[in-house]
A and B are shown apart, each in its own frame.
Chain A
């Protein structure tokens, strides 16, 4: 008898999703043809073309904004909060009912492991709608007034397509705004399925409009004069461009941008959980996470031990078919992103850091990158400063808490940070001194609808989630 316990392939069935050959835009409650050209969305695990998707032109965006404005003026802003709530509850329920379908589609279009899409993304999406549904008729208790802003233009990234949609749409609708949302060009399919869910929920036409496309479509939304509010999640570079584009206008803006989080491991850390936290911090969702713990700061006295344990653990990561229920690390979302990860990794080597990748067989087709760790990294290295947005960890060491804080904060970003230590007072001290919007102590990459999320400094402004998340969609208590 063999002593090797190999897991046989355990693929989740694709049969549950019905991908159409082509998709239009979702405007005013209906799917319509775009007037622009179309583009293809591919399965990054296989490079198979999944569908042709319409690219919304400026005129299409204008139609969508008009629809949103009409719905805002005539229906949504006038509807009592309790009634808006019921639509959001309906949507939450349909998401739960169609959860497996959404998870499979997300995995296919994004490349993320089905285990994560099924156990993290989709349940959190439903929870987010459920949470904000409950706020819709309680806004007067939240402290930001009860007056919505109007039409919200929302542009979201490809790393958590449906979850980012939920973070944007749920609070906007709860507060009485209507939305025009653009999913990322590489991951439009779950947003379009969400449009179908809006139809199933009988959401009034125009309250949610989904326009697909790339940068030009996004720019058209951001600069549309009848958009009152811009919400963006994505790169810091684009975030800055948006901040410039709205300058001098009355548009309100929230930006959730890049990060280069320090995950700080002290010598008294609960070591097995810390190693899990490091792995989860950087390899969850292939490292396509703005708050990824991409800089490991480990206390020198335990650095060798932590690295040995980390490498042993990384060797057990199962990289491959995203639809296999046992896959831990899926495909890189696009050829473009893969090229960027490769480039920065090569820079890391060229700058003298030592590269180690987990031994794993990568599929021949699709976009893949083995979980990788760089040791001997200094603060000056590009891989310690730039967001790689992939499964690449840079390891630095420190000797004292003060040095850890200094290194952790020595970045233009400020989205998240991790601290691992068994000493309670040290946790609180570190949490106070880290300049980051989310501090995970003895855990990492945890998200919840009730918990505000967002950055300091160049990681953006505004918060999503929790009571704080309402502020972005209301005029304020003083208005």
Chain B
């Protein structure tokens, strides 16, 4: 299926009034630019205020376990090996071997060629395999290659696909191209049995630069049927930030209000400490409410975060501070 620039999206996502929006480049553009603006200073001030919440004792224990369950334990390095991925998958299933009450992470996140290895290790543990596809992280490849990348990962057993949008197309205002690309990747997530891998749409917010762009990208991806919207690849600075995530949380909240459909949010990159993770959970709690406080609707894309969560968790149970030597690196 090769769409031309003038074609309409191949599958209407069933968004009611919003269906008309995606019928042409100009209507889509009008819609996205008609979204309420985001005042940078006000947005950052709100995020900073939420970051002052003090989460202690029982609520901290709750938040730590929830955060662990939300981690997409990630390795996305050129030097990744099957051994490294197997080790990471083991850690995802039993993050703290010394404490069986410690919950598993939500997923491991790897390159497509590592999906089979990860899947093999994780088996029926319930921990998902997420694969970055579509010429991650730049997204600079021909469409058929991106789709092949996606299908390949799904065939290898990926439960979730983390795609990148074409930031060049987005920044030059070719919104319908971006939209159709997401629709096609989503279709490429389909499996023969009629089910489908979940699609996370990465904006690389550090390249979109403005919160207005982040809000537009969020609506674009949600209208195109993305299951999750995700901040960053982790390869570009700044990656996830609290205010960027706030804008995305507001978007999914408003999108459900308008369409009835829930979309998840995944900040990724740069979240390293328990303190940071809890700030995000507070923000989810007070922006979208408890419906989103679930690994099905909120994830952390992170690698080193998990160990800090585990150290803090141990501190909560033992009453003393732990050290890195007591936790495995992967």
Direct touch of chains A and B (CB < 8 A): yes
User: Among the listed stretches A133-141, A200-208, A265-273, A409-417, which one makes contact with chain B, having 4 or more residues with CB under 8 Å of it?
Assistant: A265-273
Interfacial chain B residues near A273, Cβ < 8 Å = 38-39, 42-43, 46
Residues of A within 8 A of B53 (CB): 7, 325-326
B54: chain A residues within 8 A (beta carbon): 7, 10, 325-326
Are B60 and A8 interface neighbours, CB within 8 A? Answer: yes
Contact across chains for B56 and A4 when beta carbons are under 8 A apart: no
Which applies to chain B's interface (DSSP): helix, strand, loop or mixed? helix
Question: Which of B38, B56, B62 has a CB less than 8 Å from the CB of A270?
Answer: B38
Number of residues from A at the complex interface, CB < 8 A: 26
Assembly CA distance A398 to B237 (angstroms): 44
Q: How far is the CA of A149 from the CA of B35 in the complex (A)?
A: 55
Interface window among B22-30, B92-100, B202-210, B286-294: B286-294
Residues of B within 8 A of A7 (CB): 53-55, 59
Q: Interface digits, B5-48 against A, CB 8 Å rule (1 contact, 0 not)?
A: 00000000000000000000000000000001111011101100
Residue of A nearest to B285 (CB): A5
Q: Quick check: is A455 within 8 A (CB to CB) of the other chain?
A: no
Closest residue on chain B to residue A10 by CB atoms: B54
Q: Does B65 contact A (CB under 8 A)?
A: yes
Query: With A268-B36, A272-B42 given, can you name 12 additional A-B contacts, CB distance below 8 Å?
Result: A3-B294, A5-B63, A5-B282, A5-B285, A7-B59, A10-B54, A10-B55, A10-B56, A270-B38, A273-B46, A422-B37, A442-B42
Residues 320-339 of A, flagged 1 when their CB comes within 8 A of B and 0 if not, give: 00000110000000000000
How many of chain B's residues have a CB under 8 angstroms from any CB in A?
30
Q: Residue A380 at the B interface, CB < 8 A?
A: no
A443 touching B59, Cβ below 8 Å: no
Residue of A nearest to B55 (CB): A7
Residues of A within 8 A of B57 (CB): 8
Chain A residue nearest in CB terms to B42:
A273
27 contacts between A and B (CB under 8 A): A1-B65, A2-B62, A3-B290, A3-B293, A4-B290, A5-B62, A5-B63, A5-B285, A6-B59, A7-B55, A8-B55, A8-B56, A9-B56, A10-B54, A119-B52, A269-B36, A270-B42, A271-B36, A272-B36, A272-B43, A272-B46, A277-B42, A422-B36, A422-B37, A442-B39, A442-B41, A443-B41
Main DSSP-derived SS at the A contact region:
loop
Chain B nearest Cβ from A460, distance in angstroms: 28
Name the residue of chain B whose CB is nearest to the CB of A442: B39
Docked Cα-Cα span, A7 to B250, in Å, equals 22
Residue B79, interface by CB 8 Å = no
Closest 4 CB pairs of A and B: A273-B42, A10-B54, A325-B54, A271-B36
| Docked pose: A4 CA to B66 CA in angstroms | 11
A5 touches B293 (CB 8 A): yes
- Asked if A22 is at the interface (CB within 8 A of a chain B CB), the reply is no
A269 neighbours in B (Cβ, 8 Å): 36-37
A385 at the interface (CB under 8 A from B): no
Tell me whether A276 is interfacial, beta carbon within 8 Å: yes
Within 8 A of B (CB), among A346-381: none
A8 x B58 contact (CB < 8 A): yes
Interface membership of B108, Cβ < 8 A: no
A316 at the interface (CB under 8 A from B): yes
